Amino acid sequence: MKTDRYKNIAEGIGALADIKINGNRPWDIQIHNNQFYRRLVAEGSLGLGESYMDGWWDCEKIDEFIFRLLSKEADKKMKINWKMVLTFLVARIVNLQSKLRAFHVGERHYDLGNDLFRSMLDERMIYSCAYWKNAQTLGEAQEAKLDLVCRKIGLQPQMTLLDIGCGWGGLLRFTAEKYKVKAVGITVSKNQAELGKELCKGLPVEIRLQDYRDLNEKYDRIASLGMFEHVGYKNHRTFMEIVHKNLRGDGLFLLHTIGGNMSGATLDPWGNKYIFPNAMLPSIKQIGNAIEGLFVMEDWHSFGTDYDKTLMAWFENFDKNWSKIKLNYGDRFFRMWKYFLLSYAGTFRARKTQVWQIVLSKKGDPGGYKSIR
C-alpha cells in the first residue's frame, strides 16, 4: 500500500511537468525498481540522482526530463528532508571554503583523472562555458570565449595577466600565444598544475598550486573563469579584496561565473555530494555586496543558455570516448557523470542557473567602458 502511495505522489509530480512513468516519449522515465518511488519522495533530488546511479531508472533524454521538471517547477513538490536542512545549516554555520579546505575540491573533482577531462573537453581543455555566438564546434566556441575575455579586458602585448583558477592553463596558453603577455595561473588541483605546466612549456607562463588567499603581487589584468563557484559566500568579500590588492590601479578584472537566481549557501544535495563538494552559486545580490566600495561594475554579460549547448557537447565527447577510459572508472561512475552533464544542461535550459561575465575596474574607465559581445 505504501508503494502505491509513493507511486501516486511521483506520478503527480511527473504530471505537473508532462512526464509519464514508463511512458514512450524521450523525456519519460522507465522504472526498474519499485523502491524508486519511496526514495524519490523521501530524499528528493538526492534520491533522484542516486537512484539513477544505482540503475533504478532510465530516461532517453535526461536533459529534457530535468528541463521539464524545473521549468514547470515540479521539483518544488519534492520533499525537503532533514539531510537537506542539515547541509544548509552546516553551510551557514561553518566556512566550508576556508583556507584549510581550499584543496578539497581539487582532490575530489579536478584530480579525478586527466584522461577523463581530455576525453570530454576541447583540445585546449577549457572547463567553463563556451561562447557559441558565431561558433559551430566546441573548439571554436571555447576559443571564441577566450578571445572574448581578452578583448573585454583590453589585453595588450607585454602586459601581465593573472588567472585565478587556471585549470590546465588554457587561457594562459592562449594569451601568451595570441596576445604576447606574461601570464600566471593558480589552481588547487595537482593534476591540473602538472599537465598545465607541460602544455604551456616554452611559453612565458607560470602555473602554481596555490590558494587565492596567498596572492600578493601586482598584475595589469586579472581573470577568473569558473572558479568563483568554489569561493563560498562567506569568502566572497575576501576574494574581491585579494583581487583589488593584486590589480594595478588602471587594471581590469573579469569574473566569469555560474550564477543563481536566488541567494543560497550550498549546491543541490546531489551535486554537493558527488560532483562539486562545498560549492555554491553566487547570486547578483551576493556579488554586489562583495564588490561594493571596491570596484566599479563596468559590464555585466549574461549568456547562460550557452552552457546548455556546452554541456551537451561535453557529454557527446564523453560518451563517444568512454570505451577508451572506462576501465579506470566503472559503470556506476559513467551513470553519475552522465547524470551530472545532462541534468546540469537541463538546469541551464530551464534558466534556473545563469552564466555571467562581469568586468570590474577600481575607479571606473575615464572614457567610459565600451561593452564587447
Q: For position 265, what pLDDT does the model report?
A: 79
Let me know if residue 371 belongs to a domain.
no
Q: Do 245 and 152 fall into the same domain?
A: yes
Domain assignment of residue 123, yes or no: yes
**Looking at the predicted structure, is the pLDDT value of residue 95 above 80?**
no
Residues 114 and 64 grouped into a single domain: no
User: Are 44 and 136 in a shared domain?
Assistant: no
The mean-pLDDT minimum among 13-27, 77-91, 187-201 falls in 77-91
33-49 tens-digit pLDDT: 999 999 988 888 899 99
Same domain? 49 vs 112: no
Model pTM?
Answer: 0.92
User: Is 341 inside a domain boundary?
Assistant: no
Residue 337 counted as domain residue: no
Residue 342 belongs to some domain of the structure: no
- Taking the mean position of all CA atoms in its chain, how far away is CA 158? 31
Percent of the chain past pLDDT 90, that is, above it, reads: 81
The residue with greater pLDDT, 298 or 97, is 298
Q: Is residue 231 part of a domain?
A: yes
Average per-residue pLDDT for the chain = 92
**Has residue 302 been placed in a domain?**
yes
Cα separation, 337 vs 323, whole angstroms = 14
Please tell me whether residues 62 and 121 are part of one structural domain: no
Q: What is the pLDDT of residue 96?
A: 53
Q: Is residue 36 located within the same domain as residue 154?
A: no
How much is the pLDDT for 5?
A: 85
Domain end, chosen from 16, 44, 79, is at 79
Which range marks the domain in which residue 39 is found?
A: 2-79
**Whether residue 112 sits in one domain with residue 25:** no
DSSP 3-state assignment of 114?
Answer: helix
Provide mean pLDDT across the span 326-352. 97
Q: Is 202 exposed, middle or buried (0-12, 13-18, 19+ CB in 10 A)?
A: exposed
CA distances for 36 relative to 46, 50, 251, 258, angstroms: 12, 10, 54, 31
Q: Are residues 255 and 312 in the same domain?
A: yes
Residue 13 binned pLDDT confidence (cut-offs 50, 70, 90): confident
Q: Same domain, yes or no, for 63 and 113? A: no
123 and 13, same structural domain? no
Give rounded-to-5 percent helix, strand, coil for the chain. Answer: 50, 15, 35
* pLDDT score of 105: 65
DSSP string, 13-34: HHHHTT--BT-SSTTSEEES-T
pLDDT at 3 over 50: yes
User: Cα 262 vs. chain centroid, distance in angstroms?
Assistant: 16
Both 69 and 128 in one domain: the answer is no
Interval 124-147 mean pLDDT? 98
**Domain total in the chain:** 2
CA angle 256, 259, 262 (to 5 degrees): 155
pLDDT at position 100: 55
Q: At 85, is the pLDDT very low, low, confident or very high (cuts 50, 70, 90)?
A: very low
**If 0-12 CB within 10 Å is exposed, 13-18 middle and 19+ buried, where does residue 249 land?**
exposed
Q: Are residues 23 and 151 in the same domain?
A: no
Whether 120 maps to a domain, the answer reads yes
**Count helices and strands in the chain by DSSP H and E runs:** 14, 9
Among residues 46, 79, 112, the one where a domain terminates is: 79
Predicted pLDDT of residue 104: 65
On the question of pLDDT at 309 being above 80, the answer is yes
Q: How confident is the model at residue 90 (pLDDT cuts 50, 70, 90)?
A: very low
pLDDT number for residue 9: 86
What's the pLDDT at 4?
A: 83
pLDDT tens digits, 209-252: 999 999 999 999 999 999 999 999 999 999 999 999 999 999 99
Task: Give the pLDDT confidence score for residue 84 in this predicted structure.
Answer: 46
- The last residue of one of the domains, among 79, 108, 129, is 79
The number of beta carbons lying within 10 Å of the beta carbon of residue 323 is: 9
CATH of the domain at 288: 3.40.50.150
